[in-house]
Amino acid sequence: MKYLLIIFIIFISCSNENHASKDLISKVNEIIPNGLSVISFSKSNIKNFYEVELSDGTYFFIDDLGEHIFLGDLFRIENSRLVNLSYFREKEKILNLFDEIDRNSFITFNPSDKKYEVFVFTDVDCGFCRRFHNNIQSYLDLGIEVNYLSFPREGLKSQTAKKLSTAWCSEDKKNTLKDLKLGKDLPFKNCDSNPIEDHYNLAREVGISGTPTFITENGFKIPGLVEADELIQYLK
């Protein structure tokens, strides 16, 4: 009888918690913008708070009463220093997403002696993207393999997207990409293997809004142009 009572209490507790979670999810769905949905809802590292992730990659924390929400990085004080728990969460998400993407969809520039690799979201009309590519040899000389992914900042229907399609559908992808970054006018091309939309969706999912954006092999995201000598410090 004693054990049955314990099982009953556990069952009631779990039922109450599940009911509370459903109520909170309903509350979140009422306040988020139309078109978004909750894709992850779980207990956080903060007592009495849940962590919520939306379909656009946004995440935030809500208290178990549904009265308070806060956005931003979560830090833990550990041995007199701050540990960014949000960074580890983002890093894990990025690495999981990159594990799923076809590496054959990259335009890759290989160093003679590969030591590191980076993934660079680029477009062909971005001034800093052009500057990066003009200096790409300095990165290769340090043993950094550059894997380009496309990200037309103005959207999939833009002229930039068409130019990126031309590069990725060309027989000579590297030189076509180079020519487009030099501002040359080339006939538009498209193909069944065009990965522009997949790359664009991946960029949006990991919170990228500008180019160039670097993703290191350990999942660290670096927005903006980073010179070779500085980038190497992130990779060591």
CA 118 from chain center: how many Å? 14
Q: Is the pTM of this model over 0.75?
A: no
Does the pLDDT of residue 11 top 70, yes or no? no
Strand ranges across the sheet with 144-150: 107-109, 144-150, 116-122, 213-216, 221-223
Q: What is the DSSP string of 114-155?
A: --EEEEEEE-SS-HHHHHHHHTHHHHHTTTEEEEEEE--TT-
pLDDT of residue 159: 95
On whether the CB atoms of residues 176 and 83 are closer than 8 A, the answer is: no
Does residue 222 register a pLDDT over 60? yes
Highest mean pLDDT: which range of 11-20, 56-65, 126-135: 126-135
Residue extent(s) of CATH 3.10.450.70 domains in the chain: 2-87
Instruction: Give the Cα separation of 175 and 10 in Å (integer).
Output: 65
CATH architecture of 106-235: 3-Layer(aba) Sandwich (3.40)
Instruction: Delimit the CATH 3.40.30.10 region(s) of the chain.
Output: 106-235
CATH fold of the domain at 2-87: Nuclear Transport Factor 2; Chain: A, (3.10.450)
Alpha helices (H) in the chain, listed in sequence order:
2-31, 85-100, 127-134, 136-140, 159-168, 173-181, 196-205, 228-235
- Residue 50, amino acid: Y
Q: What is the pLDDT of residue 82?
A: 66
pLDDT at residue 19 greater than cutoff 80: no
Residues 111 and 140 sit within 8 Å (Cβ to Cβ): yes
158: three-class secondary structure by DSSP: coil
Give 29-86 pLDDT, tens digit per residue: 887 788 888 877 888 777 888 888 787 767 788 888 888 887 777 776 767 676 666 6
pLDDT at position 16 over 80? no
